[in-house]
Amino acid sequence: MALESNHRNTHFGFQEVPTDEKAKLVADVFHSVAAKYDLMNDLMSFGLHRIWKRFAINQAALHAGQRVLDVASGTGDLAKACAKKIGPTGKVIMTDINEAMLQVGRDRMTDAGLLQNIEYVIADAECLPFAENDFDCVTIAFGLRNVTDKAAALRSMYRVLKPGGKLLILEFSKPTAPIISKFYDLYSFKIIPKIGELVTNDKDSYQYLVESIRMHPDQETLKSMLITAGFEDTEYFNLCGGVVALHKGYKY
């Protein structure tokens, strides 16, 4: 179970760093990996990340004309799927604190011809620059673990949701079976950084990404954090034996 550090220090992977330095360190990581982020996702997950995201979109149960906020959008996989679900009368706001990642996402949306119903905003998940009760759905995929103050981010996402709106968090989590956990540790620490070194010439960034997964709250802890932030009817779904979990909660 991973917990937030004290107000002076926080985790950057397995390192403890001053809280006010983490955002820059994370930004440096994603500036470095942005160009080959999608390729690395396919290689590291054997393409399974596409199935996990499809499951998240199905759970979102979006309708035409709805407003969706995709936090930590990165290269925009969820935003792209959401935009297709809500159609031209809806709106998806893609946000990311990292300009390089958001630019890659914007280029992908342009190439896909999705221009009418997507907007792009550089924003910090901890203090989202949107009005209260503004969105029908908020999504965040593989981004929450990089946020310095996760509790603040959850409160911020709760604030911008409309009553009746839902939050979906897709994130790496804790495997439920010891044998899966052992294999996962071996693959994560021995293989993924080497893939990162070969493909992006950046072993350190992928070492951080592996470590950040281990420091992220487990399934029950994150569920408790959602409840503390005000969400109701909270639940989670373990995917691939808990390697990934989808958390869902509602604002009433």
Q: Tens of pLDDT along 196-229?
A: 888 888 888 889 889 999 999 999 999 999 999 9
Phi, psi of 154 (to 5 degrees): -65, -40
- pLDDT reported for residue 5: 47
The answer to whether position 215 is within a domain reads yes
Q: Is the pTM of this model over 0.85?
A: yes
End-to-end CA gap in the chain: 28
Phi, psi of 76 (to 5 degrees): 90, 20
Predicted confidence (pLDDT) at residue 234 exceeds the cutoff of 90 = yes
Tokens encoding 142: 């593989």
The answer to whether position 224 is within a domain reads yes
Strand 161-172 with 244-250, pairing = antiparallel
The answer to whether position 220 is within a domain reads yes
The answer to whether position 124 is within a domain reads yes
Tokens encoding 135: 């969105």
Mean pLDDT of the chain: 91
Residue 165 belongs to domain spanning: 9-176+206-250
The answer to whether position 150 is within a domain reads yes
pLDDT tens string 1-51: 444 445 588 877 777 878 877 877 776 777 777 777 778 788 889 899 999
- pLDDT reported for residue 7: 58
Residue type for position 95: T
Query: CA–CA separation, 154 vs 22, rounded Å?
Result: 18
